[in-house]
């Protein structure tokens, strides 16, 4: 997790993403968390980079990833 000029960047490891549709589903769910500015999911690495106004609650991220049908392993 890095903090820069009023934003926090956190990288999460997720299992189950295999394609662009997967990336979109995960990004869409995480984007609904309050304070999230941007989400970039990469199926090839299984990583999701989230930029937010403040550190996110890991359980909120886990719930969003679960809702999308994937599993949050933890922070990368």
Q: Which ranges of the chain would DSSP assign to H, the alpha helix?
A: 20-31, 58-68
Domain count, the chain: 1
CB 36 within 8 A of CB 52: yes
- Encode the chain (76 residues) as per-residue pLDDT tens digits: 665 567 999 999 999 999 999 999 999 999 999 999 999 999 999 999 999 999 999 999 999 999 999 999 999 9
- Interacting residues of 40 by C-beta distance below 8 A, sequence separation 6+: 27, 48, 49
The pLDDT of residue 6: 77
Q: What pLDDT, on a 0 to 100 scale, did the predictor assign at position 63?
A: 98
Q: What is the CATH number of the domain that holds 65?
A: 3.30.70.100
> Up-side HSE of residue 56: CA atoms within 13 Å toward CB?
31
Give pLDDT, residue 58.
Answer: 95
User: Residue 26's pLDDT is what?
Assistant: 98
Q: How far is CA 54 from CA 2, 45, 57, 75, in A?
A: 11, 25, 9, 16
Query: What is this structure's pTM?
Result: 0.91
Domain ranges, residue 11: 2-75
């Amino acid at each position: 997790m890095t903090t820069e000029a009023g934003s926090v960047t956190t990288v999460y490891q997720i299992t189950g993403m295999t394609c662009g549709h997967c990336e979109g589903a995960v990004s869409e769910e995480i984007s609904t968390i309050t304070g999230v500015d941007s989400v970039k999911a990469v199926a090839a690495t299984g990583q999701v980079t989230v930029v937010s106004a403040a550190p996110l609650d890991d359980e909120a991220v886990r719930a969003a990833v679960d809702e999308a049908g994937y599993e949050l392993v933890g922070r990368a």
